[in-house]
Structure formats: structure tokens, C-alpha cells
Chain A
Amino acid sequence: MRRRAGSGAAWWFVGPALVVIAVFFFLPVLAALIMSLTDFDIYALADLRNLRFVGLRNYGRLLETPLFWQAFLNTLYFAVVGVPLSVGASLGAALLLNSRLARFQGLFRTALFAPVVTTLVAVAVIWRYLFNTRYGFLNYALSQFGIPPIDWLGDPHWAMPAIILFAIWKSFGYNMVILLAGLQGIPQELYEAARIDGASAARQFRYVTLPMLAPILGMVLILTIAGYFQLFAEPYVMTQGGPLQSTVSVLYFMYEEGFKWWNLGSASAVAFILFLFIFAVTVVQVRVARRGFAS
């Protein structure tokens, strides 16, 4: 009897949250899939009778749109260059913090983590100023080493590297904290055993730290790649996609397609391509990681 009473009450606990998630998340995701097969545009927005089913035409047209490809390649560039550098920075900082020689660990950890909690738009505004060609601090610092000024955000070759630099600064603390916890979880006896065997610090890192950290490192890579593919606010604030569309990302393209030109069907298709791509990359990574463990 009691059990049954509990079961009725349970729905009062989960029901509201499930309804919200179903209506405001699952339904829109499903609708996005359907919308991506229609020519939903500003005319359909005014009158739904103008809506037509077009099959996969949105996807086909996107694949023939040079700007979409550019946005895709820009995003790929951002992720392929940015993720290894970012995770590398996280790992380096975590190793330093985990060193027995390090002092004031709590203080340093807080300092290195601080950019993570800051508002992306606000710090992007700061960095836009740091990157300023004439007055920016970065060029001033480089000039001390005799390096001539770089037009960071105005040169199509430098704009994406500048955004990557900013993104690393903003996000490396997040993975650093996760990796630090992973490092702290490695049993000290393993290091002692390695030391007794005469293993150098480098060999200890190669044969103890890396294998023990591998599962966490793999997970961090998967989450970071998925996050880097969602690049949007950085180009929106710092470059507006320019110069010469060198920083248009997939989400930036989706935003303009959907909420500037009101091609909502096509924007939904962009969202789905992005999702499928992230999903595929994640699946491949999980496979590779599993095979790594098996061998």
C-alpha cells in the first residue's frame, strides 16, 4: 500500500520537470528535424500556408553554399588547433599545481580558474582591446622583442589565431581542475615504485601519469571538442565574422541564416548538420578510446 502511495506522489515530483523538458527541448529538437525539410522562411512566418515540404533540398543547397563550407572549415580550424593547445595548457597547469614543490596551490588554482567563470562577452571586449593594432597591449609586449605590430583582428590570417588565443585563456582552467583531480587520484605508491626502479621524471610521466590519466584525458577531449564546435560569441563580439569571413563559425552562420534572414528551414538544417558532425566525432573518439584500452 505504502509503495503505491509513493508511486503516485513520484509523478508530482518528476512530472513538472519532464513536461518542461518535453515541451521546450524534445519537441523543438523534433520540430527542427521536420523544419529542416521545409522551406520555412519569412513568408511562412507571416502565413503558414506558404510553407512547403522540400525534402533534403536545404541540405543540398547548403552543401553548395561557399560561405557554409567556409564556416564549417573555420570552425574545424578553431577546434583542431584550439583543442590540443587548450588541453595541453590545462594539463601543463595541472601538473604544475600537482607538484609537491608548488606553494599556495589553492590561490593559484583560483587565479587560473577565474577566466572560466567570467562573462564571455565582457572578456571578449577586453581582448578586442588587447588585440588592438595601435594601442593594444599584446603588440606593445611583442614590440619589446622587436616584433612589428600584427593586425590581429583585421588580417584574415591572424583573426582566427587571435580568437583561439583568447579561447584558450578563457577555458583552460576548466579542464585544468578536472585533470588536477585526476592527477591527485593516482596512487602515490606507483610513483614510489617507479622511483625505486630508477625511472626519471620524464619516464614517470610517460609510464605512470599518462596511462593513469588516459580515461579522464579522453573524456576531457570529447567534451572540449564538442564545446569548441559551438563557437559563436567570440566572433560575434570580436570580429563580426570578418575579416573576409575568416571567423564565420557554423553557429554564427546559423544565427544569421535564421535570425537575420529568417530562413528558418535552412537554419534548422545547419543546426542538424552541426549536431550530426559533433555526434560522429564523439562516437569515433569513444571507439578509439575503447580500442586503446583493449590493447
Chain B
Amino acid sequence: MTPGLARVIVNGLLFGIAAITLFPLVWMVAVSLMSAGEASTYPPPLVPSHPTFANYRELFAHAGMGRYLVNSVFLAVSVTLVSLIFNVAAGYAFAKLRFAGRERIFKLLLGALVIPGQVAMVPLFLLLKQLGLVNSYGGIVVPAMAGIFGIFLVRQYALSIPDDLLEAARIDGASEFRIFWLIVVPVLKPIIVTLAVFTLLGTWNDFMWPLIVLTDNSLYTLPVALASLSREHVADNELMMAGSVLTTLPVLVIFIALQRYYVQGLMAGSVKA
């Protein structure tokens, strides 16, 4: 095989796989712009004959999409902000501060990573019910305030902070909180962005837990609302595609903008095993 032919094969294959991978997403956008019923014809149309935003208007006007969008944004942002504070502080402490039982506690946390979150769901639901948090934003935010994976990610990164740097600040009489805020946080910035992107996308995309804990329609996040709408509107493909666009577009944009940080976290996360 000549190098020229090999080059054509490799790049042709890559192009073909990329086209197949992106096709469902591109077609989703096309169908979302079609008028009602247009997509339920054979052969399936690839481009809208008369592009229209009618499906989007319908979603906001009659399906409460605006409300779901606000719920999703609010929950993703609050979970991200709150959990960052808890996880970054704890991850730093596990790496750089001394306290009794540090190694043992960390090992216990690492070991617990093998337990799937779903094991905790039933009792967690009852616990939150006791606390009056079922069917409220709190039901999502409170259990997500800290996570083992986030702590682990920050700890691995914080191990590289030189002890001399912290020691020098201590000798200058800086308090631990000042050191954390003025020295540690700026150094940890890359991993903080990584963890923020992970948490944001994870919370936005989460389905099973919001489905269980949010029973009131007006609190639904986009995925829960979309799943419920799709059971009602099985035949309204154009409408459902518009809903899918509204749900996936924000995460795709964030991913493309912050891709470097996301992939970094993925690598660091996979080293744990």
C-alpha cells in the first residue's frame, strides 16, 4: 500500500465515523426547525422546507420550557458553586494539611468509590423526606454539596503545591484561611475549572435522581421534563427535537469552550483505578 493511499483511507475513515457520529445531532437541529408533521413522512426529510421557530415558541408558550430551563440553570450553577467550596477545601486539606486519621479517611473514601450511587437512593429519599427536602431544589443541592470524586481530583492536583510556599506564608503569620484563599486557590485554578465543568455538565445531564426527588411539575429539570413530554407527545417529532436542542445545546457549547479542562479531568479521573 502506498503512503498516499493509506493517508486517504485513514482520513476517509475518520471523516466517515465523524459524519455518522454527528449526524443525529445535526438532524436534531434540522427537524426542530420543521413545521408540525413534516418529519413524519417517508423518505425522512433532511432539511426543513420552510424553516420555522414555531416548535420553540410552542415549547415556551404551552409546555413550560422556560420554567424548566430556569430550574436546570439554577440547579446546575448552585450545585457547582457550593460543591466547589466543599470539595476544593477538603481536597487541599487531604493533600497538604495534617490531621489525625488523614490517610485512613482518604483510603475509606477511595474505597467507597466502587459503591454505585444508586445503592444510597432509597434511604436518601427517606432521609430527605424527613428533612422536608423532597420535591424542592434542596433535594438536589444538599446531597450534592460534596463528592468523593471531586475531593480526589483536587487532592491529586494539590499534592504538587510546594510545602515551602505554604510554610513561608505561615512564618509570615498568615492564617490558614488566608493562605488557602490567597495562595492555594490561585494555584489550583486549572483543576477548579475542570471540576466546575464536570459538576456543571453532570448536574445538568443527571436524570434518575431528579426524577425521583422532584415530583412537582414546576420543579422539573430539562431532562425530567423532556422525558415526561416525550411520553405524552410520542408522535410530535419536531416538537421533541426542539426540546432536545434546548437541552443539549448549552452543554455542548460549554464543552466546546472549555474542552481542554474537561479532557484533563477525564484523564485524572481515570487514573484512580
Contacts and interface: CB of A to CB of B under 8 A. Distances in A.
Given A101-B7, A120-B205, A9 B97 contact: yes
Given A13-B97, A117-B262, A264-B126, A101 B86 contact: no
B223 to A, nearest CB: 4
A233 B207 contact: yes
Looking at chain A's contact residues, is the secondary structure mostly helix, strand, loop, or mixed? helix
Nearest to B126: A264
Interface stretch (A16-24, A69-77, A188-196, A204-212): A16-24
Contacts of B247: 119, 121-122
Contact of B42 (A134, A236, A268): A134
B122 A219 contact: no
In this complex, the interface size class of chain A, counting residues with CB under 8 Å from chain B, is 35 or more
Interface string A3-38: 101110111111011101101111111011001000
Interface string B33-73: 00000011111100000000000000000000000000000
Interface string B195-234: 0000001001101100110000000001110110011000
A93 B97 contact: no
A28 B124 CA distance: 5
Contacts of A96: 10, 13-14, 17
Interface in A229-280: 229-230, 232-233, 236-237, 240, 251, 254-255, 258-259, 264, 267-268, 271-272, 274-275, 278-279
A54 interface: no
A267 B122 contact: yes
A128 B118 contact: no
A214 interface: no
Contacts of B93: 10, 13-14
Contact of A119 (B11, B22, B204): B204
A99 B10 contact: yes
27 contacts: A2-B170, A7-B97, A9-B176, A12-B176, A13-B180, A16-B86, A17-B89, A17-B90, A24-B120, A32-B120, A97-B14, A101-B11, A102-B14, A112-B17, A112-B18, A115-B25, A117-B252, A119-B251, A120-B207, A132-B237, A134-B42, A140-B43, A233-B227, A236-B211, A240-B231, A267-B122, A274-B116
